[in-house]
Amino acid sequence: MSDRRESPLSEADPESSAEPRHRLVVGLGVSGRAIARFLQAKGASFALADTREAPPGLEAIRAAHPEVDLQLGHLDALDFDAFDEIVVSPGIDIARAGLDGVRSRIVGEIELFVRECRVPIIAITGSNAKSTVTTLVGEMLAEAGIHAAVGGNLGDAALDLLIDHSNAECFVLELSSFQLETTRRLGAYCAAFLNLSPDHLDRHGDLEGYRAAKARIFDGARHAVVNAEDAATRPERHLPDVVTFTAEPPAAGQWGVVSATPEAPAWLARGEAHLMPVSELALIGRHHFANALAAAAIADTFGVPWSAMRRVLSRFQGLPHRGELVVERNGVRWINDSKGTNVGATLAAIEGLGGSLVGRLIWLGGGVGKGADFTPLAEPLGRYAREAILFGEDAERLQTALQARVTTRRTTTLAEAMRRAAAIAEPGDCVLLSPACASLDQFPNYMARGEAFRGVLARGEEVEC
């Protein structure tokens, strides 16, 4: 299947197309360590640097690369002229790290991956749902008997996949704006841009800068999958094939939802061709209709049989911390969507669940808001919520944005918010943790926040309904 994708072409000038003699790797997180392992396996010459004085796992890094020069702290002590190429980890903000002057020599992990990859790349980005869609596509390919390695911004780093899956027929990569902004030309077999909502504006400057970084996913793509309801996801340049999806009834050739009638259920479909009834989806919530359709559209470009898609969609119940049903107790569902770290993700969860409830929604939100505008949450919460229970650093800002439309209650911790939810929940209600905020005020990451939610529920005596 390797003939399905042309070898990627670098946009670098001819003098820089040769293998660099000496590189600098900046950032020693997951991607940086993968870059170092990859370069070491190739026998390449490189040095390591991190803007932190003591990055996590420092001793392990030194043990793995004992002969490699290592610079910690401010980068101004380095002689950048000594390096032909500078490979930065996604977590490194080029401007803040003082690397503006060497931008022409900067690449990222995905650029190194593209240079070495000889099989098709399926690449997926978006503000929300990209992990779910990436996983669904990987499972659909596997169900069809195709050896697909899945990772990138999800799970294993792309360069680790390249080393560990040398016989892969395809790579399915979730890609963030941080990864794409240092990729010169991806050349994906299929590139998907799922949606756009404000996030990471402190890094990209404004929404247009954020969108432009994500839109780099289309550079050199053969097929594109985009959201018909979000014009920001469309490629600006002509591509050979652009497929759209919508949660509305589809046009000819478009993926969408054929509306239910009294005589028939709603179906996922492409044009007039029906894929499966939406009632057979294992994922909970209407917002997952779009995720299922996007995954099907992507897999379809690769020739995956629809029967394989149906089998995956009928069993896939979601990823941890992403719309995950933890427990149903006394008629109340408790859903962990801790990955909802921005307003767009939380809006999708609220809208997706709210309209299907027998009872009301009890929303748990708060944390570090990253300067976000919370007012778009007010209207849907006003329609669906019994109460918005707020915790963490930006609880007061959330309350100010919401209290005119929905009853609010401020608490201090997630556990306290859950006890309040249990006290007011009625049969048919749904308690939704989808905080619209980062977790770093009270938790190391969104996974730890989600595990805390699970843990309180496991100790059921604290939240008896």
> Tens-digit pLDDT profile for the chain (465 aa)?
333 333 322 333 333 456 889 999 999 999 999 999 999 999 999 999 999 999 989 999 999 999 999 999 999 889 999 999 999 999 899 988 889 899 999 999 999 999 999 999 999 999 989 999 999 999 999 999 999 999 999 999 999 999 999 999 999 999 999 999 999 999 999 999 999 988 777 788 899 999 999 999 999 999 999 999 999 999 998 999 999 999 999 999 999 999 867 667 899 999 999 999 999 999 988 889 999 999 999 999 999 999 999 999 999 988 889 888 999 999 999 999 999 999 989 998 999 898 778 899 999 999 999 888 999 999 999 999 999 999 999 999 999 999 999 999 999 999 999 999 999 999 999 999 999 999 999 999 999 999 999 999 998 755 654
What is the structure's pLDDT at 5?
34
Helix (H, G, I), strand (E, B) or coil at 223: strand
Among residues 200, 214, 223, 321, the one annotated as catalytic is 200
- Distance CA(52)–CA(56), nearest Å, equals 9
How much is the pLDDT for 174? 98
Contact 72, 53 (CB under 8 A): yes
pTM, full prediction: 0.83
Sequence-distant (6+) residues with CB within 8 A of 233 are: 126, 193, 194, 195, 196, 226, 227
Nearest to 369 by CA among 339, 403, 343: 343
Q: What pLDDT score was predicted for residue 358?
A: 82
Which of the following is catalytic: 65, 128, 153, 223?
153
User: Is the domain defined by 117-315 classed in CATH 2.40.110.10?
Assistant: no
State the pLDDT at residue 285: 83
What pLDDT is recorded for position 260? 66
Rounded CA separation 320/287 (Å) = 17
Q: CB neighbours of 306 closer than 8 A, spacing ≥ 6? A: 275, 296, 300
Regarding the domain delimited by 324-462, which CATH topology (the fold level of the hierarchy) does it fall under?
A: Protein-Tyrosine Phosphatase; Chain A (3.90.190)
**Residue 200 falls in the annotated catalytic set:** yes
| Domain segments of the chain as ranges | 20-109, 117-315, 324-462
List the catalytic residue out of 65, 128, 130, 214: 130
Compute the distance between CA of residue 337 and CA of residue 199 in angstroms, rounded to an integer: 17
d(CA 103, CA 80): 11
Going from the C-alpha of 113 to that of each of 248, 263, 316, the distances in angstroms are: 37, 51, 29
In eight-state DSSP terms, residue 17 is: S
- Rounded Cα–Cα distance for residues 315 and 112 (Å): 35
CATH of 20-109, one of 3.40.50.1820, 3.40.50.2300, 3.30.70.360, 3.40.50.720: 3.40.50.720
Active site residue 342: no
Q: Clarify whether 214 is annotated catalytic.
A: no
